[in-house]
Structures are given as C-alpha cells and as structure tokens.
Amino acid sequence: MDRFHHLCKTSSFLAEKMTMYGCGVEAPVVLSRSGGTQDQSRFEDRELIMRALAIGRPIHRVHTQKPLFCDGILPLPEEMFPVYLRQSLNLFAATDDQIQCLKAEYVALSHSMSKGSGLDSSNPARALLTEFGMGFNPMTAGILKQVRETFLEGDNERADISSVCSKLGIYEKGHQAGYRSRPLVPNMFATLFVIFRHAGGVFAARRGGSPTTIDLEQRDPALPYVQWIAVPCDVDLVFGSIPSGYRVMAIYHILIEPRPDIPCRLTTDNDELMRLLVTLINDSTFLPKGGHLVFGLRHRYPFTDAFKRRMTYEEADDVFTRMCESLRGRDAALLHVCRALSLSSQLQAAIEDKECNVRMLCNVALLVEDFAGDPVRTTLWKHLRNKYAGLTIKDTVERPVKWITGFSRYPPAEAVYWDARGEPGVDKKVAVDFCITIGFDPFKGGRRTSEDELDESSNILRDRKNL
C-alpha cells in the first residue's frame, strides 16, 4: 500500500474516532496527492488532521449545549405592576419610602450564599407565597413562549409549560446575590427572574467555565417596563451590586406540564380499518374509474367559530392548518391510517349552496373573498368549482364521491362571503361542514394507477405510433 492510501486510511480512522468522541465530524478527511515534497506533504497532512481535531470538539460542544440564558426588556401596561400584601401597591409608581414599607411587611428569610463567593451575605426580605399576590403573569406577557423556544428541543418543543412564582425579593443599594438554577422537581427546566424595579447593575451567568457578564440596562423611569432573564437548570447566576435605590425581583420556576397518560384503545380499530381500505384498493370493481371516499368528522373543533367573520386567505389557511393538526379520536386515527397506506387523504370543507341545493367539497376552509375586488359574481357552487376545484357531491360525476359517514350531531359552522349579486355591503352566510376525503386512483392493469402514470403511458403509446 503506497503512502497516499495509508494516509487516507489513517485519516478515515481518525474521523471515526472524532465522531465517536463527539467532535462533530461525520465524514473522513480527504487527502490530496498534489503538491510539495514528501516531508512537506507529511507535515500538511498532519496539520490538516490536527486542525480538524482542534476545531471539531469545540464546535460540537458549543452547538450541542443549551444557551446560557435568554433575556429581554418588556414594556407593559401599569395594570400588570400591582403587588398585594394586606394592601395594593403599584411597583411602577411606588416611591422608595413605599418600597421600604413594603419590605418591612415581609418575613425575613435567611439568604444562603456559596462559601468563598465574596458576596454580601445580608438577609433580604422575601414574601411567603401564601401572603402576597401579583398582577404580573409571565404567560400572558409572552415571556414563556420565548423561554420554551430557546431551551426546549425535540418532542418538548410543543409541550405545554407553566410558571410558579417561588419568591419575591426586595433588595437595597449595595446588595448582590448569587443563585444556582437547579431542578426542584423532575419537570422543572428553567428559572425565570423578572425585575420590576432597578437602577442598572450587572449579572453574570456561568456553566462550569468562565462567566458571561451582561449589563442590566438602566431605563427611563417614566416608562413602565420589566427586565427578565431566564436560565436553564444547569447555570449559576450572580446579580451584581445594586448601584442605587431598590431592586424588586420575582423568581419563577418554569415547568413542563406532564402529558396525560391516557390509554389508547384504537389499535385494533386501526388495524381493521387498514385491512378494509387495503381490500378496497385491490378491488377492481370498487370505483374502477377512481373517486373519493368521504368521512364526516366525528368531533367538534373550536376553530370553526372563527369563520363567523370575514378573513383574509392567509387567516383562513392558518385556521385550516391548525384544525388539521388538532384532529383527535377517530378523526385522527383515520388520517393516520391513510398516511400509513400512502393514500391521498386530506381535510376538506363541505360547503352547501342552499340557493341551488348543491353541496361542494373544496380544498379551502371556507369561501374567503378579497371583498375589495373579487366578490362572487355567479352561483356559489359554480364559483367553488371554477376557482377552487370544487367537487360536486353526487354519483353521476366522472370521479364519483362515496359518502361513508355523515357529519356529527353538531350544527355546521357559518361562514360569510360577499355576493356581488346581493344587497351591497351585506354578507351572505354559508353552511360549512368538515370531512376527511380519501382519493382512489383508477384501477387499470391490475392495480391502482395515478393520473400522472396514465398520462405518461398515453404519451409513450402515442410516441411509439409516431415512430
């Protein structure tokens, strides 16, 4: 084996080790034969490998670690600033004397500090949770959404999270404090610090190595705002000395809400449904020219209430998308089975034109027109057919529709649209139900053949005739 192949083999071995030890390199280093003397080439090869090792480990470590913190400054209305302890006090408008009186009302709790931290070990007053209430809510303020997006990954990205206020601290000029963010319960993943009132200072976050220091911005005292900092449960945090006045700070534990452990009894039904659909797919006498099966939804979904007002196309599409993602029970099971069989299935709207006694299947959640310039100028069902590829629900069409289950016992949603033929400025209402449709391709040549395959076959036959 010549030197080049030996080096390639060596570099591949190193790359495998780098991947094994978490260096973030998944492909072997490719070495070039070209250029340089033998000694120079050997030096360049070694330098390349060492550089990959030196860069790979830090990149992997930095990329896979959670951020040290996320923070922000949030303007808020004054009604979110009151704190209640025997009497109400607005933290935004309170004077230093009022804050001092509030502090005197609290039960003094010892503030333990890490040995050797060099921090002032005074005893700031804190409130017991049973003794006070606050008008501020991290969820409604929008903070928890950003905390979740920053720290949670994988299956937890869409998990429900909540916050529990553990304490409220009132700290005077010169005070500094350190915190260790650690999970107190298994589902706790972060700690949130909300500062209602402060005059500058710094905080430092650290995870094992050197701390990262950030200034606490001093803002215009005439504007109501809070500054917040959230850290995951493996970070040490230090708030520096308060330069003047008071710092009022609430501390919250951020929790992942446990998902309910509800046993699913649909497995047998899913298997049976899958078996029946496979039988229909392979049956040449069932919808031989292709067609659709339609299943009315068995559950009622809250998104249907949104259709009672005019919406833009984007708003309607968003409602429709969220509804697809929120199917439950047998509705969700049906869509799951169809996707497992690679059947063309989708959630569609069944829109009824009572004027013409026709019901249409349509790929839009409802008829939403840009009422500034595109009203309905013909019958509703013709408009749906021409503009939205609407499908008339009857057995005489070329691609028949087989209605398997009707709609649920709930009344249909009401959607509004603008009819140019009607009274100006008056919306018309249309009944909208929702269903899952399953498309069946035509049966030809012993199997279901899609329209694209049929068109391709026709083109091939036509080309052969022209030869």
Would you call 181 helix, strand, or coil by DSSP? strand
Q: What's the pLDDT score for residue 327?
A: 79
The parts of the chain modelled with pLDDT lower than 50 are 1-43, 60, 63, 107-131, 261-267, 365-373, 394-398, 418, 420, 453-467
For the chain, the distance separating the N- and C-terminal CA atoms, rounded to the nearest angstrom, is 55
pLDDT tens readout for residues 65-95: 677 888 888 777 666 665 655 556 667 667 7
Q: Which two tokens stand for residue 54?
A: 């030196």
Query: What's residue 430's pLDDT?
Result: 67
φ/ψ (deg, to 5) at 346: -160, 160
CA distance 174 to 245: 9
Closest CA to 384 of 411, 415, 406: 415
Domain with CATH 2.60.120.10 in the chain: 70-256
Question: Mutual orientation of helices 267-281 and 329-340 as an angle, nearest 10°?
Answer: 50
Interior angle at CA 27, CA 25 and CA 29, nearest 5: 95
Q: Which fold has domain 70-256?
A: Jelly Rolls (2.60.120)
pTM over cut 0.75: no
* pLDDT in the model for residue 14: 38
Q: What is the pLDDT of residue 317?
A: 65
Write the DSSP assignment of 439-454 as a string of letters: EEPPEETTEE--HHHH
